[in-house]
Amino acid sequence: MAIDQLDGQIIVLLAEEPRIGVLEMSRRLGVARGTAQARLDRLRSRGVIRGFGPQVDPSALGYPVTAFATLQIRQGQGADVRAYLDGVPEVLELLTTTGTGDMLCRLVARSNADLQRVIDRVVGFDGIVRASTAIVMENPVPLRIIPLVEQAAGEFLEGD
């Protein structure tokens, strides 16, 4: 789904101030309240905006170590592996991939020693054949979406 400039402005405003109300949003963007509400509803129903929850830093919860594990799984075990890893709290994200591995997980741990415990738990499932792990040293460009939103909204203007 393409977004236009107003959609982009709504997303950026919500990213900056997630608790802003629709009335205040409409005032700041210079549109009618009904327009802001309709755009917000459309962005949510189409899955562009997936939620309004807090952004939580694992380090602040006592999990300062982040690692990525590339997993090779047994053929036909994908659904079972996904279900198993969904039950491991330290697995923050799981993606299926092409290339040398079948899945990529983002893991967190309390320390490097604790990371071994997490990895042992991850690879302890019979459907996982092998894991290769890389520890994150720093995160100079944290996960971000707003530059992409601004580009997508700008492309709409250029296409007019």
Sorted by where each begins, the domain ranges of the chain are 1-55, 58-135
110-122 tens-digit pLDDT: 999 999 999 999 9
Cβ burial, residue 12 (10 Å; 0-12/13-18/19+): middle
65-97 tens-digit pLDDT: 999 999 999 999 999 999 999 999 999 999 999
Q: Does domain 58-135 have CATH number 3.30.9.10?
A: no
Q: Which of 127, 109, 129 is nearest to 119 (CA)?
A: 109
Torsion of CA 80, 83, 85, 86, to 10 degrees: 170
CATH code for the structural domain at 1-55: 1.10.10.10
Residue with tokens 């309004």: 52
Task: Output the pTM of the full model.
Answer: 0.83
The tokens describing 138, both together, are 């720093």
Cα–Cα dist 67/91, whole Å: 10
